Amino acid sequence: MKTTFKFIFILLLFSFHLHAKVSLEKVSLQLDWKFQFQHAGFIMAKEKGFYKNLGLDVTLLEYKDGINIEDNVLAKKVDFGISNTPVMIKNRVLQPTVILATYLHRSPLVFVTQPNIKTPSQLNGKKIMATEYEYKQSSLSLLMNHFFIEGTYIPHSFGIEEFKNKKVDAISAFTSNELYELNRQKVPYNIIDPYEYGFFTNAMNLFSSYEFAQRNMKKIESFLEGTKKGWQYAIDHTDETINIIHAKYNSTKTIEELKYESKEIKKLMLLDLYGIGKINKELLQRVHKQLSRTSKLLVNQRNKIIVFDDMLNGTDEKELFFTKEESDFLLQKGVIKLCVSPGWMPFEGFNNGKYIGIVADYFDLIKTKANLNIEVYPTKNWEDSLFSIKNRKCDIIGSALPTVNRLKYMNFTDAYMKSPIVLITTIEKPFIDNIEDIKHKKIGVIRGYATIEILKNKYPDINIIEVDNTVDGLKKVERGQLFGYIDNLSVSGSNIQRNFYNVLKVSARLNIDDDFTIASRNDEPLLNDIFQKIITSIDSFEIREILNRWITVKESVKVDYIFLWKIFSAIFVVFLLFSIYSYQLKTNNKKLKELSRKDILTGVGNRLKLNEVLEEVHHYNKRYKTECGIILLDIDDFKHVNDTYGHLFGDEILKKFAQILLKNIRQTDKLGRWGGEEFLIVCQKINEQDLINVAEGLRKNIENDIFLKEKNITASFGLSMFDRFKNIEQVIDVADKNLYKAKSEGKNRVCFS
């Protein structure tokens, strides 16, 4: 009996132990180098059971020559990888990866050069030993690109012998590794650190594929928690950690080498500024900009770097990733034909055979973002466009409203843009309160427009007369053949301003909008899926940028337009001017030209205006040799403001911020919004010290001002001076680097180096 009980007890213990093993979730991490202290957090999390306590069985894979970590992660051969860059690129396109954590906030990657090479430009034409990745994509490659360095590439031997024997002029090295051996052997050398030249990058970035992150958020949270505990333990128990690595994981590095490495790694973690694993999002944006500027990343490639925290909190911007089925379809499809009808400016039309307008610009963005081969298929008019897609001569229409009839042969995406529908009459006619009052009068609408179906459903006995196009409809109103004409506000307003000034007017705004959706042939349903994904991935800022190029519209919220029209009918021209302004209009109207150069939200100059000012100052500087400078400033932690208080609050912050700057700059200084929360001030006839004084005064004014909801904000400043050597882009680049330096050194400061 005792023997039987003992057997059952052992069996239960074994079963429990087996169940505990089975219940652990297996995950794998591909390290970016050999086992040493730079991976101490992962090693100690495994050794001390931190992973196991969180339900994970973690396999740590040591790096071997020839392994492509990014490819292995994306191919699902491993779950996690380590990268020494936060931006993973292939063929100049961002890869679908997610940054989970950053453990080194300053990169240890530097050039070690022979003693006679002290500046980056002296590397030109020299023999440089580095890995292929370091030579093409790292902070070292950014440095080389910036200084136009063309060297002879030598594959890395991962030793110092070639450098020691002067077979190469420079090698890539980690300050935490190779420098120890160089010092030990007393080999003379010089260091060129990209950080000292404004190329701020981090290292030891933990990442996964986007697909894995979407499906395994809890698992990732557990892995990050265990790793954080592992790093904290390694930092607090450095000697124990070194002994474990040396005895169990590493047979090549000595205890002394590991001690040297541990000190360097702790410095590079910048623990006084960042928590363990904390991601510096501002640095990610800067690296993204640097790569775009140096052609390492496609210039118009708008996909953002994805951060796990944002996915976890639901604040990530949706990215564009096609399924295999969608990708195969696009490959087989080849060309996507876009039906375009003429005469619908400012939205779409042709100028000397070139497709132009708001919708045209939107599709340029789509082509860049999704790498689609979209070909324009011109049609005679809107009715011909509908006929063409119905008969499959084209595949998509750039802007169409869904109706019951159209659903028989087209699918529709969600709306990506809206525009009001209005009634146009001759100027002497009264303003219309209700379409019901004029439904028996002749009202023109373009043949085939969805507005006809919508109006007839709402007013069954409305007297609609179909017209060929906008100009046809407006002419018939002018001649008295129609009482009024219904169309998009922007299109009709543009035509009135050009051809019917002081003859026609907007008499009513209908309670319907022109919803801009992408229509596609419904016999190829994947087209709708693909374009729905694309429009979802395009943010409102990108659309606003397009609109700003074509229209200067300033709308008031909750304004009774009918009441205003009745009282101030004489100012309808002003209303039209603020409603629609195409870039094709003649530039001799100075007032409209000025409006097109203003930022709608803040009222200061926009990017176009600033570019003009910069050109003028640059020319003035070259001709008269006067001192001029620029101040590039950025609101600190503005994304946090938007996330906490909402975008409307953020807009109010931007408005007040602009007003503070306007009040405190010199009369000769020019202020504009550079983009987002960045502003640029161009200062003429100013020396370096005075430029610093202006910036410092602005910094204090901003810091001491109370913004909305009793909130204080701060800003960081990057300064630069014009000289006879630098072009405009280089002047801005210097200011941008100084701004980033101000951010990385604690924010709320002025940087001018």
pLDDT of residue 596: 60
Taking the CA atoms of residue 495, residue 500, residue 505 and residue 508 in that order, the dihedral angle to the nearest 10 degrees is -40
pLDDT band at 296 (very low <50, low <70, confident <90, very high): low
pLDDT of residue 594: 58
Whose structure tokens read 């150069």? 597
Can you tell me the mean pLDDT for 384-394?
Answer: 91
Residue 330 in any domain: the answer is no
d(CA 89, CA 96): 9
- Are the CB atoms for 698 and 661 separated by under 8 Å? yes
The pLDDT tens digits of the residues spanning 118-164 come to: 999 899 999 999 988 787 778 898 888 878 898 898 998 888 999 99
**Widest pairwise Cα distance in the chain:** 112
Q: Within 13 Å and on the Cβ side, how many CA atoms surround 138?
A: 23
Q: What is the mean pLDDT of the chain?
A: 83
Domain at 573, CATH number:
3.40.190.10
pLDDT of residue 491: 83
pLDDT of residue 84: 85
Residue 328 in any domain: the answer is no
Find, among 128, 124, 138, the residue nearest to 32 by Cα.
138
Asked if residue 197 has pLDDT above 90, the reply is: no
Peptide bond into 402 cis (omega under 30): no
Q: Are residues 743 and 621 in the same domain?
A: yes
d(CA 327, CA 96): 14
Lowest mean pLDDT among 19-33, 175-189, 241-255, 449-463: 19-33
Tokens matching residue 174: 């980690």
pLDDT of residue 276: 95
- Residue finishing a domain among 536, 560, 591: 591
Residue 397 in any domain: the answer is no
Q: Are residues 100 and 126 in the same domain?
A: no
Compute the C-alpha angle 73/78/82, nearest 5°.
60
**Which comes out higher in pLDDT, residue 233 or 8?**
233
Asked if residue 59 has pLDDT above 90, the reply is: yes
Can you tell me the mean pLDDT for 74-86?
Answer: 91
List all residues 6 or more positions away from 692 whose beta carbon is below 8 Å from its beta carbon.
719, 750, 752
Domain of residue 730, residue span: 597-751
pLDDT of residue 11: 43
Q: Are residues 674 and 743 in the same domain?
A: yes
pLDDT band at 505 (very low <50, low <70, confident <90, very high): confident
What is the phi/psi pair of residue 694, to 5°?
-60, -45
- Are the CB atoms for 649 and 591 separated by under 8 Å? no
d(CA 181, CA 321): 45
Give how many domains the chain has, as a whole number.
Answer: 4
- Residue finishing a domain among 163, 197, 231: 197
Residue 524 in any domain: the answer is no
Q: Are residues 702 and 615 in the same domain?
A: yes
Compute the C-alpha angle 67/73/74, nearest 5°.
115
Compute the C-alpha angle 660/663/667, nearest 5°.
140
d(CA 326, CA 136): 31
pLDDT of residue 577: 42
Residue 485 in any domain: the answer is yes
**Which comes out higher in pLDDT, residue 23 or 207?**
207
Q: How far is CA 292 from CA 64, 286, 407, 490, in A?
A: 31, 10, 41, 34
pLDDT band at 417 (very low <50, low <70, confident <90, very high): confident
Q: Are residues 167 and 55 in the same domain?
A: no
Q: How far is CA 482 from CA 425, 431, 465, in A?
A: 9, 16, 8
Q: Are residues 672 and 734 in the same domain?
A: yes
Can you tell me the mean pLDDT for 199-207?
Answer: 88
Can you tell me the mean pLDDT for 51-78?
Answer: 92
pLDDT of residue 551: 66
Lowest mean pLDDT among 100-114, 119-133, 516-530, 616-630: 616-630
Q: Are residues 582 and 601 in the same domain?
A: no
Q: What is the CA radius of gyration of the chain?
A: 32
Q: Is the dihedral of CA 495, 500, 502, 505 positive or negative?
A: negative
d(CA 283, CA 296): 17
pLDDT of residue 571: 43
d(CA 100, CA 224): 8
pLDDT of residue 320: 66
pLDDT of residue 337: 94
CB-count exposure of residue 408 (10 Å: 0-12, 13-18, 19+) = exposed
Residue 326 in any domain: the answer is no
Q: Are residues 647 and 734 in the same domain?
A: yes
Listed in sequence order, the DSSP H helices in 216-323 are 217-236, 238-244, 255-268, 281-293, 308-313
Q: Are residues 224 and 124 in the same domain?
A: no
Q: Are residues 622 and 480 in the same domain?
A: no
Can you tell me the mean pLDDT for 486-501?
Answer: 81
Question: Is 0.95 surpassed by the pTM of this model?
Answer: no
Q: Are residues 229 and 305 in the same domain?
A: yes
Residue 585 DSSP class = S
SS (H, E, C) 48-110: CCHHHHCCEEEEEECCCCCCCHHHHHHCCCCCEEEECCCCCEECCEECCEEEEEEEECCCCEE
pLDDT band at 401 (very low <50, low <70, confident <90, very high): confident
- Residue finishing a domain among 535, 563, 591: 591
Residue 77 in any domain: the answer is yes
Compute the C-alpha angle 205/207/208, nearest 5°.
175
Q: Is the dihedral of CA 463, 466, 472, 473 positive or negative?
A: positive
3-state secondary structure of 444: strand
Letter string b/e over residues 267-295, b meaning 16 or more CB atoms within 10 A of that residue's CB: ebbeeeebebbbbbbbbbbbbbebbbbee
Question: What percentage of the chain reaches a pLDDT higher than 70?
Answer: 87
Q: Are residues 133 and 190 in the same domain?
A: yes
pLDDT of residue 80: 97
Domain at 625, CATH number:
3.30.70.270
For the chain, first and last CA: distance in Å? Answer: 86
pLDDT of residue 524: 92
Residue 327 in any domain: the answer is no
Asked if residue 4 has pLDDT above 70, the reply is: no
Find, among 402, 350, 410, the residue nearest to 381 by Cα.
350
The pLDDT tens digits of the residues spanning 220-231 come to: 999 999 999 999
Can you tell me the mean pLDDT for 657-681?
Answer: 89
- Are the CB atoms for 658 and 604 separated by under 8 Å? yes
